[in-house]
Structure formats: C-alpha cells, structure tokens
Chain A
Amino acid sequence: MRDVVVVGAGPAGLMLACELAVAGADVVVLERAEQRSPFCRGFNLNARSLDLLDRRGLAERFLAEGPKVPVTSFGGLATPIDLTQLGWDHPYTLGIAQTRVEELLEQRAIELGVTVLRGHELRAFQQDGESVTINDGELTARWLVGCDGSRSTVRKLARIPFPGTDAANHWLLGDVVPTDFGAMSFGVNNGPNGTVVVIPRPGYVRVLVDDPVTERTEEPTLAELQSIVDHNLGRHVELTDPIWIGRFSDAARQADAYRSGRVLLAGDAAHIHPPAGAQGVNLALADATNLGWKLAAVLRGEVSPDLLDTYHSERHAAGARVLLHTQAQAVLGATDSRFAPVRELFAELGELGQVRRYLAELATGVETRYDMGAPVEDAHPWLGRLAPNLDLLVDGRPTTLSRLLHGGRGVLLDFAGTQQVTPWLDRIDLVHASTVDDTGLSALLIRPDGYTAWLATGNTHQPGPLTDSLARWFGAPAVCAA
C-alpha cells in the first residue's frame, strides 16, 4: 500500500508530491496525459509563489528562468501596482511559462523519489476507514488527493458539491502564428467591431477575444477564432499553426469541502476563478504546501486526522478570497464602459500607500492569514501570516529563516534561550538564533509551511502557552523515558 496517491501532475499535484516526499512519505502521482500538454496557461509566478518555493530552497531554480518585473496588476487598471516599496522578500512578478514551472517541479519530485505515472487515469475509487482502493484494486493508498484540475474526476466521484457563480463572460484564446507578426500590435487592438488582445510569445502570439457563443458543446476551432478576429478588426489577419485554441470564462466555483474522509482536493480541483495575476498557480502551490506537512504528520501517526480539517478551514477561506477578488478584477477589466468610473476611482485611490499595499497583497495572496487561536485585532502582525525571511545568526554563522525550513520541519526560533520543548524535539527543530535586525520578539514558532503559529514578545505569548500551539500543530508531547 502506498502512503498517498496524487491524481494530476500539474503544479498542485507535483508540489504536493514534493512536500510529502520531503516529509518522508511514499507518493505516487497519476497523470492521465501521456505527455505534458504544450499549452501554457500562464506566464508568471507571483511574489507569494516565490516565497513558498523559497521555503524549500527552490526559488533560485525558478528565478534563473525569467525576468523579474517589479509590478503586479489589479483588474487591468491602466497603472500597474509598484511592488518595490512594500518591503517584500520577492517584490516582483517572475516571467516564467507554467509549462516550465511544471517541468522544474517534476524534476524536483523525481529527485525526491516520487513516482510519476503518465498515461494513468483514475476511473474509480472506494474508501474505507483504513485506505482508498483505486481503479478496482489497481492501487491502494492510505490517502488520495485530487489535483486533477477544474473538471476533477476525484471531486465528482467523491460527490463534493462545487457551487459558485456562473460565467457572465467567455473569451476565446488562441496560441497561433500570424503570417505577418506586424499585422496586429501587442496589447489591445481596437477595431470597428471589437477588440483583439495580443500577447507576444517566443515564435507565436496569444490572441484573446470575447467569445460571442455562450454555450459550447465542442472545442472552438482556428476557423472560429479567425472569423472573430477578422470581424472585430474589420480586416483579415491571417492566423496559422494553432498550438492551442481554448476558452475561459469569469465563472467562479469552489468545492464545499476540501476533504471527504481519506480523499482531499487541491488546486483547480478545489476552486476555479477568473484568471488574474497568476493566482491559479499561486493557489495550487499554497494549497500543496499547506496540506503536505499535515498529511505527512498524520501518516507518521503524530497527529490525529482532525488536523486535516484545518487544511479545509485555512485554504477554503483563502480560496474564497481569491474567488472574490478575481471576480472583482474581471468586472474592472471588462470592456463594459459602465465600470470605467470605478476603474478611475481605483486609479486615484491606488496613489495612496495603504491602498497600493492592500491591492498588491490581495492580487498576490500575500494577505493570507490563518487562525492561530488568537483574535486578529490584538495580535502581532506576523501571527498567522507567512513569517518574513529573517536574516539570522546561528552559532555565529549567518543564515535565513527560509534555509532553516528547507527540510520541511517546524522550527522554534528561540532568541532568548529560554524555551523548553524537549517532548517535541523529534518533530521540530529548536534553533537558538539571533536576528540581524531587532524584531522585538523573544521566540517564534514556524510551521513547516512557513506560517507563524505562535510568538512571544517578552512576557506576552500569542496565542497562549507554547505547549498548546505545539500540541495543536505537531501532536501530543512524546513520553520521555525517565
């Protein structure tokens, strides 16, 4: 029996496999497609994705691949949001194709000993109190995780409802080669009957147009795209060699439950939303890094499976926020002139420092904050948030908080040298460190996903005694031999 079967070798599935493998679990990834699709959904990784990759020592591999652009966008507002003044670890958007992100993650998964089985489709499963049986006995595992995309088979077979907002707008997308690359300009091309958005790619262009057809039963074709482009522009622009003709919408849906017994969902299988600011891959990586260490701790028997319910509560809430603001961005970015005054209002307010931070944190998921058991109003701003990548001195040698998290274990940073955590030392690393810049804190408990679970400032402990937080996230104290 395997520990975990992950269905789907996209960013969520591959990152989850890596997280589980780092924590010592035995993972197999099933991928329906024989080969990776050449279709590239997105071209960016945002700041929070890079933060999360950095907590496992992976950011460098990705940063070497593309340009760093020091802005993000919100709803297609004319002025991009400047990220340079926000004090972030990664104050930029990285230009990198999602296909390349998947290759790098798969490479890492294989390095860690994960089995990736391509051409393997999940068709059925049964679960009982102990395990999940896949495809009538083809495989058994303790846990099954559906990372199989927006039309997730796992979600459907588990009968998890997927409620939300129907699409109000549809778009056609074509990765095509124009006979004349100069026939359309990059960006928005306004024609007499509509617009055509053109995004430059190496050797081809991505063309986006409003799709006049609301209901489709068959995949759109190059001929259809060609006719809409010609109609909108009022002239013929020859498009050839389609790499991909696809369709997307501003629909937004989210799984009611991210867990059903021994079956879990992550990534697009758990939520769909209008595309904006590389949020899809961001959510996938964040879901995976939230779930991985929890599932691994359950597999090791250190914690009760109830810990997995915090995966639902934390990530469902974060996903709901993304659904909300990507829908808002879809309205702002739509061509409907009714919303032009609202765009104008955003542009004016966007000049204000607090607003810029709010929109940037929203658009990148940096705002995400989890409930650690203390009321947010009085809490230290780091509690429940991804801890900043502190510059540290440990045994006189410089290091960073990210580096301490590479092994995927929880870390107790003890600045005062006063914490007693012996019964948990099999599960977390106690690090006596000093910070380069004074934080005003005497200790910090960081979960394996990098989030601050507990902290102490002098005599004040949030959310309460350290032992409560340790027990909550890492399980009951080990019984020490006398």
Chain B
Amino acid sequence: MSSVVVVGGGPVGLMLACELALNHVRPIVLERLTEIDRRPKAGAVTGRGAELLDRRGLTPPDAGAWPFTPRPVHPDSLLAKGKPGAGHFAGMFVLTGGPGTVMIPQQQLEADLAARAVELGVDLRRGHTLIDLGTVQGPDGRYELDADWIVGCDGGRSSVRKLAGFGFPGTDGISTGYQAVVELDDPEFHPHGWFRKEHGLLVHGPMPGRVMTLEFDGPPPHRDSEITREELQRSLRRLSGTQVQVTEVRAVTRFTDNARQADSYRRGRVLLAGDAAHVHSPWGGPGLRLGLCDAVNLGWKLAAVARGLAGADLLDTYTVERHPVAARALELQRASVALLSPGPHVSALRDVVSGLLDHEDANRWLTAAMGDLDLGPFCPDLSLDGGPRVGELQRTGRGLLLDLADDPGLRAVAEGWSDRVEVVTGRCEQVSDRALLVRPDGQIAWRSGDAEPLREQLTRWFGISHS
C-alpha cells in the first residue's frame, strides 16, 4: 500500500483523513498549529455539505439551532424576514427548499473530526509544518517524510499548492471585511441584524459582541499585518456613524473577496482540496460546504488508488466533478459581493433580484446552485423496510449497493468488492428501482435499469475485484 499525507488539520483535512481511514488507508495529517485556531470562522454547514455530515453520522444533536438564544433582529435588517439557518444570498432573502443547515462553529466541527480521526487510527501530528514536498519541521526538529500521495488541505495560502506549482487564476478583491467578537463601550451602539450603509455593510449579532463589517475601498493594503483594535474600531465607526469604542478584541479575522481557483485539483501525486483549491469571499458560508464535499468526493477514490485497486485516472474524476462546482460558487460569490456594494443604484438592483427570487423556480434554482444540489443524481435519504435510512447505512463511508428486489445474482456480483461496497437487501416503497449503486458521496453510480452491467460500474468507481 502506498502512503498518504494530508497537509492541514482543519475541517477539510480531517474529514478527508476520516474518509481515507474508513476505506482502509490511514494517512498522516500534518497541522502547523499546535491547537485549534479559536479565531471566528464559519458557523454553519449548508446544502450538500449538511447532507454529507448526516451521511457520516457527524450532525450534532442540536444542529438546527444556534448554540445560544439569538436576539430578535431589527425590522430594518436585511435578513429580518428570514429565520436562522434558512440560507441567504448576498444578505438579501431566504433560500427555501434546500436541506436544513447544520449550525456548528467551525472549531467544534474540527474538534469532533479530530477525535474521530484519531479513533479511526489517523496519525494526527499537531505542530508539524511542511517545508517542501519531502520535508517537515516538527516540534523536535526537521525530518524527511516520503509520501506517495500528498493532499494539500492547507487553506487559501496553501504551501502545497505553491510548492507543487499549481496555477491559481482568478480575480482580485475590491473590499475589506472584518469578523470579530469584541467588547464595546456601548453594546447597544447599533441594532442587531444586517444593514446596508453608505460605505458598505454592517452586521451586528447574532451573539453578543459579534460584528462584521464590509467596506469597498479595496483589499487590505498589507494582508499579513496584525489586525489592530484601532482599524476595527475605525471600520465600525465609519459604518455605524457612531463614536463606538472597542474596549477589547476577543477574536478577529480580516477578509477580502479575491476569488481564485486552482486550474486543476491534481498534479501528479499532489492533490488539493478545500480553500487550498479555491478562495472566495465568506458571504453565505460556501467555504465549509465546498471543502467538505471536496473531501468526501476525493477520500474513497484516493483510498482505492493508494491501495493499488484502481488506476490514478480515477483521481481525474475528482477534478472533473468538483472544479465546475467551485467555479460556479465563485461566480455566485462575485455576484454576492457586487450586490453587497453600497449605493442607491445597487439597492434598486437588490430589490429587483429579491423580487425575482420570490418566484419559486428562481428560488429553487439558486437554492440548488448555492447548495451544490444539482450535480447529478444524489441518492435521497430513503428508508428501507421502514427501518434504516440511507443516511445511516452510508456511515461506513463505503459504497452502498441497495438490493431492493432480493436479487442473489446481484449480490454475487458485488461479492468481489465487499471491502469497498456494502450490500444491503431490503424493500423501499419510495423508488421503483430494483437496485441502486450509491457512491460514498451519495451520488448514484448505477441503477438496475441502466444498460451497463453492475460489474462495469463497480470496476469503474471502486477498482478491480478482490476475488
């Protein structure tokens, strides 16, 4: 078996490590930081990302609710007519009809995934930094690390991407934003909610002391400079028109809206996933969703290749499937930022877009586009014999052959992939198919009515038979 090193122990790297381990490959995970980064990051997983968490049993029990009681937003807030977790576009309206959003702070998701990875036998090394593609700086010194496969899950400024020479084309940012949890001299300096202002956007809440700002005077001049209390305070004052004082910064991040994407997700034995493969503005929270979907698309494929069961060309389907999804997400993020820019003409445009999305078919289209929901047939969360759901059956992280007509012939065919594909026999009223082959990422790879025989699809997606 060849070895796999995952660079980056954030949610994407850890999710990928778990996926590999579930498929018999135990990777090394290198994480630069010695503990989980506590700065404010994403707070929710949307769309297909939320569904995939469920398919691994990772949805926290209280996933539909904020982990605190949010204050009611001001009636003038852009999201006043929404409810937490329903999804929005450019802070404008509520996306309806998608799967429920999982409310979970990124740090909690990372902690959950780290515990699970270790439980599954992943070698998680905190405080280890990749120096070049064969060298690691650890807490006890530098060491060589010979990996057959390297996956960069090391964020927007990915070392792996740079070291391996991936192209990263895209558009520059035009805005600077801050997300922070602060102590203020006047906590009531502004109502709670999302507000368009003369110079940009001001978000206050939902938890006490949380603020977000967005201004359109270009990207941060020095992106590596330390974020000072003064610059955050200046932004809050400009937007709110008050003289509010930031007395303490508990946590802060700064962001812009540059939108770039790796030209391919694989160069030889190096792959990219998550922010390492695509960066964009944070509005609407697409980052976690895209990254988790990347990891779940890649994990089982890389495992089959690393085990020598499938050819490396299986990995090319990873780029083919995931690159266009992120490309469209980036385009929607660019549109979001344009629609968040200030001015009366943009307000008018927002009103037209908002009216457009009151129409069911438009809302459904954007909900699907914002949630990665329309990328080929995704197996619904079917119930078998009124018993286990597909969501529960997929927790092994392996392929799933649903034998819905008790067909011993099919089961015999699948026997040769029993280490990679679970076979479950049962009945399901919700579909007319006699059998379905479901990939670990929930996509339907084969239906009983398809012209191609099951054996070919098993080989195509899971590699050679072991018998």
Residues of A that sit less than 8 Å from B by CB: 165, 168, 250, 252, 323-325, 327-328, 330-332, 338-342, 344-345, 348-349, 352-355, 358-359, 362
Shortest Cβ distance from residue B231 to the other chain A in the assembled complex, whole angstroms: 24
B450 at the interface (CB under 8 A from A): no
B362 contacts A349, C-beta separation under 8 Å: yes
7 nearest CB pairs, A to B: A327-B348, A341-B334, A341-B335, A328-B349, A354-B359, A165-B344, A328-B352
Residues of B that sit less than 8 Å from A by CB: 174, 331-332, 334-335, 337-339, 341, 343-346, 348-349, 351-353, 355-356, 359-362, 365-366
B348 contacts A324, C-beta separation under 8 Å: yes
A352 contacts B362, C-beta separation under 8 Å: yes
In the bound complex, residues from chain B placing their C-beta under 8 Å from that of A353 are 361
In the bound complex, residues from chain B placing their C-beta under 8 Å from that of A340 are 334
A362 to B349, alpha carbons, bound, how many Å? 12
B352 contacts A168, C-beta separation under 8 Å: no
Residue in contact with B341 in the complex, picked from A323, A338, A358, A362, CB distance below 8 Å = A338
A330 contacts B362, C-beta separation under 8 Å: no
B339 contacts A342, C-beta separation under 8 Å: yes
Task: Please name 16 pairs of A and B residues whose Cβ atoms are closer than 8 Å in the assembled complex, sorted by A.
Answer: A165-B344, A250-B345, A252-B344, A325-B352, A327-B348, A328-B348, A328-B352, A331-B345, A331-B346, A331-B348, A340-B334, A341-B335, A342-B338, A349-B366, A354-B362, A355-B356
In the bound complex, residues from chain A placing their C-beta under 8 Å from that of B355 are 358, 362
Question: With contacts A165-B345, A252-B344 known, what are 9 further pairs, Cβ within 8 A?
Answer: A324-B352, A327-B348, A328-B351, A330-B345, A331-B349, A338-B334, A342-B339, A349-B366, A354-B361
In the bound complex, residues from chain B placing their C-beta under 8 Å from that of A352 are 359, 361-362, 365
In the bound complex, residues from chain B placing their C-beta under 8 Å from that of A331 are 345-346, 348-349
A327 contacts B344, C-beta separation under 8 Å: yes
- The chain A residue with its CB closest to the CB of B364 is A352
Report whether over half of chain B's contact residues are helix, strand or loop; otherwise say mixed.
helix
Residue in contact with A168 in the complex, picked from B338, B345, B360, B365, CB distance below 8 Å = B345
A344 to B333, alpha carbons, bound, how many Å? 12
In the bound complex, residues from chain B placing their C-beta under 8 Å from that of A338 are 174, 334, 337-338, 341
A327 contacts B349, C-beta separation under 8 Å: yes
In the bound complex, residues from chain A placing their C-beta under 8 Å from that of B361 are 352-355
Shortest Cβ distance from residue B345 to the other chain A in the assembled complex, whole angstroms: 5
Shortest Cβ distance from residue B273 to the other chain A in the assembled complex, whole angstroms: 24
- The chain B residue with its CB closest to the CB of A326 is B348
In the bound complex, residues from chain A placing their C-beta under 8 Å from that of B353 are 342, 345
In the bound complex, residues from chain B placing their C-beta under 8 Å from that of A339 are 338, 349
B362 contacts A355, C-beta separation under 8 Å: yes
A67 to B359, alpha carbons, bound, how many Å? 33
A355 contacts B345, C-beta separation under 8 Å: no
Most B C-beta atoms less than 10 A away, residue of A328, A332, A345, A355? A345
A362 to B331, alpha carbons, bound, how many Å? 26
- The chain A residue with its CB closest to the CB of B331 is A341
Shortest Cβ distance from residue B314 to the other chain A in the assembled complex, whole angstroms: 31
- The chain A residue with its CB closest to the CB of B333 is A341
Do A332 and B359 contact each other (CB < 8 Å), given the known contacts A341-B332, A341-B335, A342-B339?
no
Shortest Cβ distance from residue A75 to the other chain B in the assembled complex, whole angstroms: 9
Do A354 and B360 contact each other (CB < 8 Å), given the known contacts A341-B335, A342-B339, A344-B331?
yes
In the bound complex, residues from chain B placing their C-beta under 8 Å from that of A168 are 343, 345
A250 to B351, alpha carbons, bound, how many Å? 17
Residue in contact with B352 in the complex, picked from A252, A344, A354, A362, CB distance below 8 Å = A362
A342 contacts B356, C-beta separation under 8 Å: no
In the bound complex, residues from chain B placing their C-beta under 8 Å from that of A328 are 345, 348-349, 351-352
B349 contacts A359, C-beta separation under 8 Å: no
In the bound complex, residues from chain A placing their C-beta under 8 Å from that of B362 are 349, 352, 354-355
In the bound complex, residues from chain B placing their C-beta under 8 Å from that of A250 are 345
In the bound complex, residues from chain A placing their C-beta under 8 Å from that of B356 are 349, 355, 358-359
A330 to B346, alpha carbons, bound, how many Å? 10
A341 contacts B338, C-beta separation under 8 Å: yes
Shortest Cβ distance from residue A320 to the other chain B in the assembled complex, whole angstroms: 10
- The chain B residue with its CB closest to the CB of A332 is B349
A392 to B361, alpha carbons, bound, how many Å? 35
B348 contacts A325, C-beta separation under 8 Å: yes
B365 contacts A348, C-beta separation under 8 Å: yes
A341 to B281, alpha carbons, bound, how many Å? 14
A359 to B359, alpha carbons, bound, how many Å? 11
A49 to B264, alpha carbons, bound, how many Å? 53
- The chain B residue with its CB closest to the CB of A273 is B348
Shortest Cβ distance from residue B360 to the other chain A in the assembled complex, whole angstroms: 7
A354 to B174, alpha carbons, bound, how many Å? 33
A330 to B337, alpha carbons, bound, how many Å? 18
B349 contacts A342, C-beta separation under 8 Å: yes
Shortest Cβ distance from residue B220 to the other chain A in the assembled complex, whole angstroms: 18
A328 to B352, alpha carbons, bound, how many Å? 7
Shortest Cβ distance from residue A275 to the other chain B in the assembled complex, whole angstroms: 14
Most A C-beta atoms less than 10 A away, residue of B331, B345, B359? B345
In the bound complex, residues from chain B placing their C-beta under 8 Å from that of A165 are 344-345
A438 to B348, alpha carbons, bound, how many Å? 40
- The chain B residue with its CB closest to the CB of A343 is B335
A345 to B90, alpha carbons, bound, how many Å? 13
A345 to B332, alpha carbons, bound, how many Å? 8
Residue in contact with B365 in the complex, picked from A252, A323, A349, A359, CB distance below 8 Å = A349
A349 to B352, alpha carbons, bound, how many Å? 13
A331 to B339, alpha carbons, bound, how many Å? 10
A451 to B341, alpha carbons, bound, how many Å? 39
In the bound complex, residues from chain B placing their C-beta under 8 Å from that of A342 are 335, 338-339, 349, 353
Shortest Cβ distance from residue A443 to the other chain B in the assembled complex, whole angstroms: 31
A65 to B107, alpha carbons, bound, how many Å? 69
A340 to B338, alpha carbons, bound, how many Å? 9
In the bound complex, residues from chain A placing their C-beta under 8 Å from that of B348 are 252, 323-325, 327-328, 331
A338 to B338, alpha carbons, bound, how many Å? 6
A345 to B369, alpha carbons, bound, how many Å? 11
In the bound complex, residues from chain A placing their C-beta under 8 Å from that of B331 are 341, 344-345
A468 to B263, alpha carbons, bound, how many Å? 68
In the bound complex, residues from chain A placing their C-beta under 8 Å from that of B349 are 327-328, 331-332, 339, 342
In the bound complex, residues from chain B placing their C-beta under 8 Å from that of A354 are 359-362
A105 to B335, alpha carbons, bound, how many Å? 44
